[in-house]
Structure 1
């Protein structure tokens, strides 16, 4: 137990215990895997450091060493995953002072970022060329994400029961554990539980597609494949082939979510409405993710304001 920990115990062992006690069973498996990866880096970088030796200088050296192989945002995430455990150790008197205070986060120069989204014309080109057959296939999956902005795991978990065709909505209330052998899991956060309004064309298409399906089984997971491995890369590959064939920028399935959001923002939909539609925990997340688009819209607003003022003369 953590209460039996001594100041002379290794920090790497304390962190492992801390993750087991406070994180296992309390966070999603995907997030837990990040904490375990942080623990693996601790074993590599500071395997022999004791709790009592954890100082500001040593912690800064740890961050600097990690930053040599990672971009700044990744290093920031590493720092955040450590800080909770360190603050608890300070509270318990195992570390004298908070070594994370005034830490400087460094990192490698970011690589050229891949294109995250396509424009409305390019999306129309993509969707009009999908093979939307009478049977469920991954093209239907791509269409749904483009029309709703759902996350990959959310769309995988959809069942016919989640559609309310009369009210033109689809409910997001679970995810599919595609990385861990199948089965339903909770959503990423409470804000992710939501109802998304869909257009009439999508309503008619999915009403027809799902009419003979088991209402409680996932639409895109074939019966008997509940525990089969579904790879994000497989669907990304399908989308990539379409993009190359149609001579439009290559994006990922997650890029369809970004495309959905960007089109709404450019259409004048408020940030709050986009945040709720995407299931973001706060508008801050939306603002950070789509800062470049928001700045472009603000520049358009400035031009509009100046033209309006000029007309007052």
Structure 2
């Protein structure tokens, strides 16, 4: 058994690598695991000689600052959170006397100009009007399904015929498609992501006809997926981008359709709790953080309503 003094002299990158293997390997999704491996790579690149015992607040802040020079603030924040998990365990084990991550300042490059995150109701309607919805399932039908349900890209790819319950107008989301690797079904992002989404009658009628002859247990869009099980997000974004141009509206991504779905529900007066459940968020906090700008706009509208109501009391 190595003494604590010896353990504290090991390189921080080695401690982090062992921590990831011990606590994360086999417990998180492969996509998330890749992010931890990327974090390890950056530690080795930016501070290969930094020992665990040398992790003072100043040295830790310097590591964050060096990382922030090449990354946006949110990415730096994610980097910080992964490092912090390992460092707090080192503190608990007595390998560090203080928490060097305390009061860390998160910096980062200015965010790149991004595409619009969501469409308004009229823009969405224009987009749907320009989709080529033929009698067989195409990527245009995929776009419609995501717009109507707010599913994540990987969730929509994994939908099979038996996931539809047409009599109760629901769609059961209980798996994802591992589109970044060799294909195949994978678990959902979290337990809250397993859910039943209510769908409208028009969608029920459309998809009941489209999938009636499809085999069970197989994704309904499987004939569009490459032979190696992979689907490129950029391919779908390209199809959606062309449809947006035809409709003469702002271009958005497939994930932007999910934001559009949630935004329209919030503007329609649907509660944050209901939107969170429909999106499969692990907590309402996630929903509130993601759609803060919309919630603030709705609160301003609420204030106007309250003032008009009070002014009418005399």
TM-score by length of 2: 0.96
* Shift of residue 109, structure 1, vs aligned partner: 2.4
Are 1:205 and 2:206 an aligned pair? yes
Deviation at 1:97, TM superposition (A): 1.8
Q: In 1, Cα distance between the equivalents of 2:202 and 2:80?
A: 46
Measure the CA separation in 1 of the matches of 2:225 and 2:110.
46
How do residues 56-135 of structure 1 correspond to structure 2 at under 5 angstroms?
56-135=57-136
TM alignment of 1:183-262, pairs within 5 A = 183-222=184-223, 225=226, 227-262=228-263
Aligned-pair distance for 1:225? 4.5
CA distance in 2, matches of 1:226, 1:101: 49
Q: CA deviation at 1:227?
A: 2.8
Shift of 1:64: 1.2
Q: What residue number does 2:265 align with?
A: 264
Structure-2 change in CA distance of 1:104 and 1:186 (3 Å): same
Count of residues in Structure 1 that have an aligned counterpart in Structure 2: 313
List runs of 5+ in structure 1 lacking aligned partners: none
Partners of 1:220 and 1:74 lie apart in 2 by: 33
CA distance in 2, matches of 1:111, 1:92: 40
CA distance in structure 1 between the partners assigned to 2:38 and 2:2 by the alignment: 21
1:45-87 Cα offsets, whole Å, 9 max, x none, are 1001111111111001111111112222111111000011111
Structure 2: unaligned runs, 5 residues or longer: none
Deviations 1:148-176 (A, max 9, x none): 00000000000001000000000000000
Matched, 1:288 2:285: no
Quote the residue 1:303 is aligned against.
304
Q: 1:52, 1:96 within 8 Å by CA — same for their partners in 2?
A: no
CA distance in 1, matches of 2:201, 2:188: 26
**Distance of 2:208 and 2:65 partners within structure 1:** 55
- 1: CA distance between counterparts of 2:193 and 2:225? 28
Residues 193-202 or 301-310, more deviating: 301-310
> Contact 1:182 / 1:226 at 8 angstroms: preserved in 2?
no
Displacement, 1:223? 8.5
C-alpha distance in 2 between matches for 1:126 and 1:214: 30
Contact 1:280–1:286 (CA<8 Å) still a contact in 2? yes
Aligned counterpart, 1:169 = 170
Cα separation, partners in 2 of 1:2 and 1:102, compared to 1, 3 Å: farther
Q: Cα–Cα, structure 1 residues 223 and 118, in superposed 2: closer, same or farther, change >3 Å?
A: closer
RMSD between aligned alpha carbons?
A: 1.7
